[in-house]
């Protein structure tokens, strides 16, 4: 834990940022309904606008995540963290001032534009920062701690919302977002790449390397350009079979996760008449279980099982979690399923650790950005595939009586990710070529 103590300012930055963004989640639905359809419990306009926003944000982040990650390899993690953390403040400030209809539309437009850069980029850059400063053997545990910090911020943010009014929620959120950005600029040291961590796969010097899975690269040499192109992304995915397999796992697991998040609340409300307080209870249970898992179980299980096996275990429990939701026969079943977060929350940091070991220190941002872009693409496809299915089987027009059918289909998508994860084999760390440092440009 001595090395992780050097990441304390990063952990505090992530906690404050996630706290500010998570605490508005329980309140934003009420704000949207009040602004668009005051006095009504159902609003098709709100549903369509939310779906359109998610699709546009997903398309934007698909392009921006690899770009942000790649620019952070050149200009440093701290410089790039400043951009999304500063932009996050603007839409929160709009709703902190007023939540009237006109201000909501202003928030909607600004939020859509800024989220193309902000959505997921802070987490992506934080992963690259950790990879810069932690050796490969301890990287999975460090990623687990980072995810645990995010989960604890989720729990604290969700709980705080229950004791605040709607107006106070956005005011506190905007204030904490400002504090997070200032804290990061003042206290967070810029990332220092350790040249001995691993050898670069993409470099300006056109270094020749061998793939981590023992196969020679078809072209032998890859060139890291200042601005990533589609060819760069394809070359990165072809770097090794392990990286491409991790990309497939990322797509299907996030396809299922976004599908579940978009369908679960509507399903539970129709099936068991859940309200916002019961949704909050589920989120708190899941968040606490995930925090305990990532902070305490991850450091023990990674040395015993390895990232690849632990990834498969996490995805298997995620499948069970979704299938249990789909056939829920009792009001209490969703609460039991939420506790599975103790295991399925291990999957994401393990997958990110596997990805980080497939590239050198100069390409951590680009690699994590590439995976984040794939996750963003999944967030676009997911509502297109599962939202109509959920609406159909919760309506009177369902071809057969199975309200949880869409949730079961989501579980099958996660099963594909699980099967693919079983094909990922543990790989040895890349051998350093020495003298392959990464010099960040001054900003």
Stronger pLDDT, 136 or 152, i.e. the higher one: 152
Give residue-wise pLDDT tens across range 7-53: 889 999 999 999 999 888 877 877 887 888 787 655 667 767 777 88
- Whether 412 has a pLDDT exceeding 90, the answer reads yes
Weakest-pLDDT range from 45-49, 104-108, 198-202, 422-426? 198-202
Q: Give the per-residue pLDDT at 409.
A: 92
Per-residue pLDDT at 74: 81
pLDDT at position 252 is 93
Please report the pLDDT score of residue 205 as a whole number. 41
- Which of the four pLDDT bands, split at 50, 70 and 90, describes residue 72? confident
d(CA 366, CA 363): 5
C-alpha distance across the termini of the chain, in Å:
32
Distances (CA, A) of 429 to 138, 139, 152, 202, 366: 12, 11, 31, 16, 18
Average pLDDT, the chain: 78
300-326 pLDDT, tens digit per residue, is 887 778 888 888 888 999 888 888 888
Q: How confident is the model at residue 242 (pLDDT cuts 50, 70, 90)?
A: confident
According to the model, what pLDDT value does residue 344 have? Answer: 82
Q: Tell me the percentage of the chain whose pLDDT exceeds 70.
A: 81
More confident residue, 321 or 224: 321
Q: Say how far apart CA 97 and CA 143 lie, in whole Å.
A: 36
Asked which of 55-64, 87-96, 213-222, 319-328 is least confident by mean pLDDT, the reply is 213-222
Residue 198 pLDDT level (bands cut at 50, 70, 90):
very low
Beta strand ranges found along 294-412 (DSSP E): none
Predicted local confidence at residue 58, as pLDDT? 81
The pairs formed by 105-112 with CB atoms below 8 angstroms and a separation of 24 or more are: 105/35, 108/49, 108/53, 111/53, 112/53, 112/56, 112/57
Q: Is the model's pLDDT at 3 over the cut of 80? A: no
Q: Model's pTM, two decimal places?
A: 0.70
pLDDT value for 40: 63
What pLDDT is attached to residue 224? 40
pLDDT beyond 60 at 216: no
266 or 317, greater pLDDT = 317
Q: What is the pLDDT of residues 366-380, one digit of tens each?
A: 777 778 778 888 888
- Give tens-digit pLDDT for 79-128: 889 999 999 999 999 999 998 889 999 999 999 999 888 888 888 888 88
Query: How many Å separate Cα 187 from the centre of its chain?
Result: 24
Spell out the residues 6+ positions from residue 199 whose beta carbon is closer than 8 angstroms to its own: 207, 209, 360, 430, 431, 432, 433, 436
């Amino acid at each position: 834990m001595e090395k992780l103590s050097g990441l304390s300012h990063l952990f505090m930055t992530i906690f404050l940022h996630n706290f500010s963004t998570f605490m508005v989640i329980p309140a934003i639905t009420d704000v949207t309904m009040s602004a668009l359809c005051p006095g009504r419990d159902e609003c098709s306009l709100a549903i369509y606008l939310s779906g359109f926003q998610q699709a546009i944000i997903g398309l934007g982040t698909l392009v921006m995540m690899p770009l942000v990650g790649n620019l952070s390899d050149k200009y440093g993690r701290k410089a790039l963290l400043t951009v999304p953390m500063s932009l996050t403040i603007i839409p929160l400030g709009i709703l902190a001032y007023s939540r009237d209809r006109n201000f909501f539309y202003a928030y909607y437009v600004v939020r859509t534009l800024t989220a193309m850069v902000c959505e997921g980029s802070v987490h992506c850059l934080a992963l690259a920062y950790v990879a810069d400063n932690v050796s490969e053997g301890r990287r999975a545990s460090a990623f687990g701690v980072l995810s645990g910090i995010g989960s604890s911020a989720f729990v604290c943010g969700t709980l705080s919302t229950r004791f605040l009014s709607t107006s106070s929620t956005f005011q506190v959120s905007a204030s904490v977002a400002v504090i997070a950005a200032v804290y990061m600029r003042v206290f967070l040291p810029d990332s220092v790449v350790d040249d001995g961590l691993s050898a670069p796969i993409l470099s300006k010097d056109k270094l020749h390397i061998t793939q981590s899975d023992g196969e020679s690269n078809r072209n032998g040499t890859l060139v890291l350009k200042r601005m990533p192109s589609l060819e760069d992304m394809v070359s990165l995915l072809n770097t090794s079979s392990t990286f491409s397999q991790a990309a497939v796992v990322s797509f299907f697991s996030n396809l299922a996760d976004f599908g579940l998040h978009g369908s679960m609340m509507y399903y539970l409300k129709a099936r068991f008449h859940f309200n916002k307080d019961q949704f909050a209870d589920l989120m708190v249970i899941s968040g606490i279980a995930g925090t305990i898992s990532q902070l305490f179980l991850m450091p023990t299980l990674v040395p015993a099982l390895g990232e690849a096996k632990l990834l498969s275990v996490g995805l298997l429990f995620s499948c069970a979690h979704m299938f249990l939701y789909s056939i829920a026969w009792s009001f209490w079943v969703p609460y039991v399923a939420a506790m599975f977060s103790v295991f399925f929350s291990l999957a994401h940091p393990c997958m990110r650790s596997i990805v980080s070991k497939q590239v050198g220190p100069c390409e951590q941002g680009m690699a994590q950005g590439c995976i984040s872009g794939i996750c963003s693409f999944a967030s676009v496809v997911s509502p297109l595939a599962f939202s109509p299915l959920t609406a159909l089987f919760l309506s009177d027009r369902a071809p057969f009586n199975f309200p949880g059918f869409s949730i079961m289909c989501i579980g099958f998508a996660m099963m594909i990710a699980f099967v693919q994860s079983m094909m990922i084999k543990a790989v040895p760390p890349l051998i350093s070529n020495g003298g392959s440092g990464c010099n960040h440009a001054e900003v």
